[in-house]
Structure 1
Amino acid sequence: MKKKAITRENMQKALKSQKNSEKSLQESYLNKRFLENQQVKDSNIIALFMSMPFEFDTTYIRKRLLEKNKMVVIPKVIDKGLMKFYTYDEDKLELSKFGIWEPVGLDSVIPDLILVPGLAFDREGYRIGYGGGFYDRYLENYHGETISLAFDFQKQDFQVENFDMKVKKIYFYDRKEEK
């Protein structure tokens, strides 16, 4: 089993070095899987993360959900180690100290479903994030649906710790299914 810090570092390098054509191909497949998911269709309030350039790009999903009159919410760090979700409004965003766009001055909302980001995922539903523990802390008391989308190389084996929270559903890119 790999140590989380090593896996985290390796996955960041792999994400940053991914070819745009391959990234687009896998994102297209994963976007479709996410939007066709029945729990996504049944949810009214859906939490997305504002992706960094090398991460899975959530822009397409966000636009489709807004077209379907879903309420899209995004995370904001509110205190040391804590985050909440706020309604997405592209006119009310500011760049956080982490370099991620966050909502400004809105009321927090509890989503029906959360698209959970990560650097690596195992077959059991555990994930490695960036090390801040924001999602693990939030998910500890969250009872809604959780889904993650992962590029093929993000499927990894790693040591799970007692504070790690599972994601209920992970879609991995599957080249065999693409054919």
Structure 2
Amino acid sequence: MLSEKQEIRTYILQNLNSYKLDDKLKHETRLYTQLFNCQLWQDASTVAVTMSMDNELNTQPIIDMAINVGKKVFIPRVSKKDLLWFDYSKNRLSKSNFGILEPNQEENLAHSLNEIDLMIVPGVAFTPDNYRVGYGAGFFDRVLSEYSKDTISLVLPPQLIDNFSRNQWDMPVKNMLT
């Protein structure tokens, strides 16, 4: 029997996979504009962001803009049950077991969470009160429970849901752009 979150993931991912490319590009552009104009972005000198998968909001334009305006960009790599944060470098990425591009740098080069000014948090589905359903491994819920600075998620229309049954470890993001 599938859990509610598994059913939500399946439903939303199917919607994202059938999302018309023109609509997706239009909504992505609008979300980028909102992000780049928001005070959180403008005040941050370091930004953490994941490398997106095909059906997700494309994060490469965010990375490119951050670099163009002089921000440091950190991207995560899964290490056991944690995320480690590394400087973004196109030349030092390889596909993980999850199919995501991740840094392949030495662990001693990882940055601490307190070095990140703004974290752009991914997810599969989002509620109006900023809770998210991720891919089910709990990586970002653990990070969000430890990270006290600004967080934001960029949410495409097919990712919005009314609600879901939450567990004690489910953590909201502080800000959402829709």
Q: Report the TM-score, using the length of structure 2 for normalisation.
A: 0.92
Which of these residues, 142, 167, 171, is aligned with residue 173 of structure 2? 167
Residue aligning to 1:96: 96
1:29-68 paired onto structure 2 within 5 Å: 29-68=30-69
What's the offset of the Cα at 1:153? 2.2
SS of 1:147 mapped into structure 2: strand
Runs of 4 or more consecutive aligned structure 1 residues displaced over 4 Å after TM superposition: none
Query: For the residues of structure 1 that align with 2:4 and 2:77, how far apart are their CA atoms?
Result: 28
What's the offset of the Cα at 1:158? 1.2
Q: How many residues align?
A: 170
SS of 1:11 mapped into structure 2: helix
SS of 2:90 mapped into structure 1: coil
Q: Report the TM-score, using the length of structure 1 for normalisation.
A: 0.92
1:7-156 paired onto structure 2 within 5 Å: 7-79=8-80, 81-106=81-106, 107-109=109-111, 110=113, 111-156=116-161
Query: For the residues of structure 2 that align with 1:161 and 1:155, how far apart are their CA atoms?
Result: 19
Query: For the residues of structure 2 that align with 1:30 and 1:152, how far apart are their CA atoms?
Result: 11
Which amino acid is the alignment partner of residue 65 of structure 1? Answer: A
Segments of 5+ residues of structure 2 without an aligned counterpart are none
Report Cα offsets for 1:9-39 as digits up to 9, x if no partner.
1011111111100000000000001111111
Residue pair 2:74, 2:86 contacting (<8 A) in 1 also? yes
What fraction of aligned residue pairs are identical, expressed as a percent? 34
Which amino acid is the alignment partner of residue 65 of structure 2? Answer: R
Query: For the residues of structure 2 that align with 1:34 and 1:144, how far apart are their CA atoms?
Result: 16
- CA RMSD, Structure 1 to Structure 2 (Å): 1.1
Moved more, 104-113 or 54-63: 104-113
Segments of 5+ residues of structure 1 without an aligned counterpart are 173-179
Residue aligning to 1:175: none
Query: For the residues of structure 2 that align with 1:153 and 1:93, how far apart are their CA atoms?
Result: 29
Residue aligning to 1:176: none
What's the offset of the Cα at 1:98? 0.6
Which amino acid is the alignment partner of residue 176 of structure 2? Answer: I
Residue pair 2:16, 2:158 contacting (<8 A) in 1 also? no
Query: For the residues of structure 2 that align with 1:153 and 1:14, how far apart are their CA atoms?
Result: 6
Report Cα offsets for 1:50-69 as digits up to 9, x if no partner.
00111000111111110001
SS of 1:91 mapped into structure 2: helix
SS of 1:148 mapped into structure 2: strand
Which amino acid is the alignment partner of residue 171 of structure 1? Answer: L
